């Protein structure tokens, strides 16, 4: 494995790109005392990956975009955030999935020049009588192969105080996270209908497996058009939406509809 790491051109190419990425200046913020990964001689080249992760996490100039908040038929929820550089390239995505059982998944992915370089998956096992927390951290070659995976677990939620150790290679897929951001796959914004709850009117979008709701006060011409022919539009048309997350003083949160239009190239 040691020979492979030092001889493969693809890994060298990725390390070179990561080194270039980390050379870009970024605002410096105070660091917390955390347990470093004890990389052996075999994996010492992975230090450049961690430097890149720190550079992205500390860069306050990145643009952040938020996905819609989706719920499936069983009540499980999914959402994601993405961070973009000055060229609008995605350099980081964080996905949060909450299951009705009480288990929570937090997946974070880092990208450089379009390549996934590092993934982190933290699982909070709240569904157990004695909760515990696990983390898997994987590093990838430019071909998408896992170079190595490190892991840790503890009964305390702050896993940063526990050292990471080498484990079995585990690939953490970013497909769902990317679908959330791009509103593709199961997270397409198809028109699903309307709903009323908590004294508010909601537009419902999504697919058969995943749906999202947006509150509105005023019926725009497009909303009136959808209401007048609800059955003919249902599941057939795609909508572009702008929204704003709202949290009220009592803690109630919802998505407020800001703007609505038919998606480009939508046939009507």
HEC sequence for the chain: CHHHHHHCHHHHHHHHHHHHHHCCCCCCCCCCCCCCCCCCHHHHHHHHHHHHHHHHHHCCCCEEEECCCEEECCCCEEEEEEEECCCCCEEEEEEEEECCCCEEEEEEEEEECCEEEEEEEEEEECCCCCCEEEEEEEEECCCCCEEEEEEEEECCCCHHHCCCEEECCCCCCCHHHHHHHHCCHHHCCEEEEEEEECCEEEEEEECCCEEEEEEECCCCHHHHHHHHCHHHHCCCCEEEEEEEEEECCCCCEEEEEEEEEECCCCCC
pLDDT of amino acid 22: 56
Is residue 116 within 8 A of residue 136, CB to CB? The reply is: no
Mean pLDDT of 6-20: 51
pTM to 2 decimals?
A: 0.84
Is residue 11 within 8 A of residue 17, CB to CB? The reply is: no
Q: Give residue limits of the domains in the chain.
A: 1-182, 188-262
pLDDT band at 37 (very low <50, low <70, confident <90, very high): confident
Q: How far apart are CA 57 and CA 53, in angstroms?
A: 6
pLDDT digits over 134-192, tens only?
999 999 999 999 999 999 999 988 888 888 999 999 999 999 999 999 999 999 999 99
Burial category of 249 from C-beta neighbours within 10 Å (exposed 0-12, middle 13-18, buried 19 and up): exposed
Mean pLDDT of 236-245: 94
Mean pLDDT of 194-207: 94
Find the length of the chain: 268
Q: How far apart are CA 208 and CA 192, in angstroms?
A: 9
Percent share of the chain, pLDDT over 90 = 72
pLDDT of amino acid 12: 47
pLDDT of amino acid 8: 43
pLDDT of amino acid 7: 37
């Amino acid at each position: 494995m040691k020979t492979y790491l030092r001889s493969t051109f693809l890994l060298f190419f990725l390390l070179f790109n990561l080194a270039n990425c980390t050379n870009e200046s970024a605002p410096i913020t105070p660091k917390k005392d955390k347990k470093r990964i004890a990389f052996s001689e075999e994996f010492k080249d992975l230090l450049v990956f961690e430097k890149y992760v720190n550079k992205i996490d500390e860069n306050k100039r990145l643009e952040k975009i938020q996905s819609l908040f989706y719920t499936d038929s069983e009540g499980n929820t999914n959402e994601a955030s993405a961070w973009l550089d000055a060229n609008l390239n995605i350099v980081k995505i964080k996905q949060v999935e909450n299951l009705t059982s009480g288990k929570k998944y937090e997946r974070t992915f880092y990208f450089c020049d379009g390549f996934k370089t590092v993934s982190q998956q933290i699982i909070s096992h709240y569904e157990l009588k004695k909760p515990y927390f696990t983390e898997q951290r994987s590093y990838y070659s430019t071909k998408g192969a896992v170079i190595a995976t490190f892991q840790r677990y503890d009964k305390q939620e702050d896993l940063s105080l526990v050292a990471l150790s080498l484990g079995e290679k585990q690939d953490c897929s970013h497909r769902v996270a990317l679908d959330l951001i791009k509103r593709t796959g199961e997270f397409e914004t198809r028109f699903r209908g309307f709903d009323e709850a908590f004294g508010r009117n909601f537009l419902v979008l999504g697919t058969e497996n995943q749906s999202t709701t947006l509150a509105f006060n005023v019926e725009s011409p497009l909303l009136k058009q959808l209401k007048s022919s609800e059955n003919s539009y249902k599941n057939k048309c795609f909508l572009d939406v702008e929204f704003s997350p709202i949290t009220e003083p009592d803690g109630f949160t919802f998505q407020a509809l800001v703007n609505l239009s038919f998606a480009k190239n939508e046939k009507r």
